Amino acid sequence: MSNYIGYTPDILYNSVTNRFFYGVRRTDEGELFVSKSDQLQNDDAISINKSGNPEDDFTNFKEGQDFFEGRNVNHNIVYANLNYEQFRWDNREIFYYVNDEGELVARVNQEFIYDDNSSSEGIE
C-alpha cells in the first residue's frame, strides 16, 4: 500500500474527462489520416495549426470540444492552417483503421497494430 500526499493516481485518472483527442484529415490525393493523443501520456502531443499566416489559424480550440466544420459545403478547407478538418474527444481508446473491404472500422479498447508502410507520409 502506498501513501500519497495530495492527489492519488486514481483521483487524477478519474478527473480527466475526454482523455483521448482524435483528429482526422485527408490529403489532396484522398488519403485519410487519423491522429490520436492521450492526455495522460507525457510524450503525446498534437499541433492544432500548421505554420503560416496567423489569419489562417483556427483560434477556437477548447479542450473537450468537438469540431466538425473543417470543410465548407463546397468541400473547401475553411482554415488553411488547421491540421485536422475534424476532431473529437472521447474517454475511450479507439483504434481506427480501414479493413480489407475498404470499410472504416473503430475498435474500442482493443489494440490494432498499424502498418506504417501502407501510406504516404501525408505531409502537405
**26-58 per-position pLDDT tens digit:** 888 888 888 899 988 888 888 999 999 999 999
**51-77 per-position pLDDT tens digit:** 999 999 999 999 889 999 999 999 889
Has residue 114 got a pLDDT over 80?
no
- 33 found inside a domain: yes
- 88 found inside a domain: yes
Q: What is the pTM of this model?
A: 0.76
Q: Give yes or no for a contact between 19 and 12, defined as CB atoms under 8 angstroms apart.
A: no
- Name 8's Cβ contacts closer than 8 Å, sequence gap at least 6: none
Range of the domain at 59: 9-92
- 122 found inside a domain: no
- 104 found inside a domain: no
- 100 found inside a domain: no
User: Domain total for the chain?
Assistant: 1
- 22 found inside a domain: yes
Has residue 1 got a pLDDT over 60?
no
Report DSSP letters for the chain, one per residue. ----SS--HHHHHHH--S-EEEEEEE-TT--EEEEEEETT-TT----SB-SS-GGGS-----TT--B--SB-TTS-BSSTTBS-SEEEEESS-EEEEE-TTS-EEEEESS-----TTSS-----
pLDDT reported for residue 3: 66
Q: Give yes or no for a contact between 58 and 49, defined as CB atoms under 8 angstroms apart.
A: yes
Q: What is the mean pLDDT of residues 82-105?
A: 90
Q: Which residue has the cell 474527462?
A: 17
Output 98-107 pairs: Cβ under 8 A, ≥24 positions apart: 98/32, 104/32
- 112 found inside a domain: no
- 45 found inside a domain: yes
- Going from the C-alpha of 23 to that of each of 5, 8, 101, the distances in angstroms are 36, 30, 23
Has residue 122 got a pLDDT over 70?
no
